[in-house]
Amino acid sequence: MKPMRHSMSKFLQLSRFSRFSFRDLIVTAGPTLLALVAVCAIAYVVVDPTPPRHVTLSTGQENSAYEEFGKQYAAALAKHGIQVTLKPSAGSGENLHRLKHGEVDMAFVQSGSTDEAKAEREGLVSLGSLFTEPVWLFLRETKAHPITQLSQLKGMKINVGPRGAGAPRLFKQVLALNGVEPADLTLGALANTPATVELLEGRIDGLVFTSAPEAPLIQMLLQTPGIKLFDFIQAEAYARKLPFLTHVVLPQGIVDLGRNIPDVDYNLIAPTATLVARADLHPSLIDLFVQAASTIHGGAGWFQQQGQFPSARYTEIPVAAEAAKFYKDGPPLLQRYIGSFWLANFFDRMWVLVVAFGALLLPLSKVVPPLYVWRIRSRVYRWYGQLRTVEQALEDVPDARRAEIYAAQLRRLDEIEELVNQVSVPLSFADGLYGLRSHINFVRQRVLGLMADGVADAPQALPA
């Protein structure tokens, strides 16, 4: 049993000198690795920060299309771990105000509500136009005197919506083209739901919406007896006069084919709804919202063909670079093949780490090897200072103390040699260790030589 233990001890002792010193490499390269990790972490967080997990979206009035679509966006983004807080508003005007003052991150805005120069000054970008939202003018039906021209509205009570909505501004522009001043009729400022109640109760003559047909109130009024939709028979002329408008047609029977509602085609004028964001919104969130818009608004509808929306067209607000790229090339490459948005975003941002890591790795890689060599050799070189101390102790020794000092230095050399024998270095540095041991022996021989010379020089005792 003892021979086996002795052999194992020999093996372990030999292994200390034969293995590569990972410990020294780690200690030497540790600060460098920590510096690389710190710089990469800073670059990852600061240069291209992680997308926020919370976004505020300003929508519209109760029972409006903006409200309904806002709910769909919130559901779509929730699948990717993004919380979308919906803030109801009066409409486009209030939404623009909120965006300008940083109260929300995104909002639905009607085309024609602003212009390109003003949007750029206020730091706004468009994610594209989403859908057409026609001007719906619903009137109480009067068969005796049907309303065919807007000039016939003089003297009537027409609700155009609250301040901050898009309809009041737009409808006043339309009236102006017909030579009708706001003072020529009574314009109400009720929200859509109470205005609808007033119309059904007969307390107002008509109301104006600008909304997609998906709005519940639109769907209801189109099927309500005694309520007539105004036919903009001059729709093409309006579109030429106001470039942000388009001429759309509500087809016969589109609401209910069985009951043939409506019973004729209706010409309508329509701005487009645009999803607008602050320019500092994280690019990855813009990508995610545009992808959601493609799913929500990409199908065929009452006024659009399959794939017509969302689009970079029909908007006077500059389109964000990420949105424009999506409309040109489709979703980002990584997101096409990686199901997780956050995982795809992580790999997409990895280039920041690669640049930071590469910028530091090359110069630091030239520093670590010399530091490693210095650390290993310093285990050997520091003992040369001890040898030099021994040699200095041999200089100018008084004759009376030579034997004492020489003996003390021999003991010191034995101690040094014993400690040096415990030094562990990789085999590639063993030449330095063996050189040190030979130099220790060289100094020992010198001491022994001095001791021998001292004995020879001592006076011989006279014979009796």
CA distances from 88 to 165, 211, 451 (A): 11, 15, 103
Integer Cα distance of 453 and 447 in angstroms: 10
- C-alpha neighbours within 13 Å on the C-beta side of residue 229: 30
- Over residues 295-316, the mean pLDDT reads 89
Q: For 333-368, how does the pLDDT look when each residue is reduced to its tens digit (9 = 90+)?
A: 656 656 666 555 666 666 666 666 666 666 666 666
Q: For 7-45, how does the pLDDT look when each residue is reduced to its tens digit (9 = 90+)?
A: 445 444 444 444 445 565 565 556 666 766 776 666 666
In terms of Cβ atoms closer than 10 Å to its own Cβ (0-12, 13-18, 19+), residue 46 is exposed
Integer Cα distance of 92 and 270 in angstroms: 15
Give the full edge-to-edge strand order of the sheet including 135-140: 186-188, 157-159, 206-210, 135-140, 227-229
H or E element: which one contains 240?
helix 235-241
Q: For 48-81, how does the pLDDT look when each residue is reduced to its tens digit (9 = 90+)?
A: 667 889 999 999 998 888 999 999 999 999 998 8
H or E element: which one contains 53?
none
Residue by residue, what is the 3-state secondary structure of 107-151?
A: EEEECCCCCHHHHHHCCEEEEEEEEECCEEEEEECCCCCCCCCHH
Structure-token pair, residue 272 = 């487009």
What local confidence, expressed as pLDDT, does residue 190 receive? 95
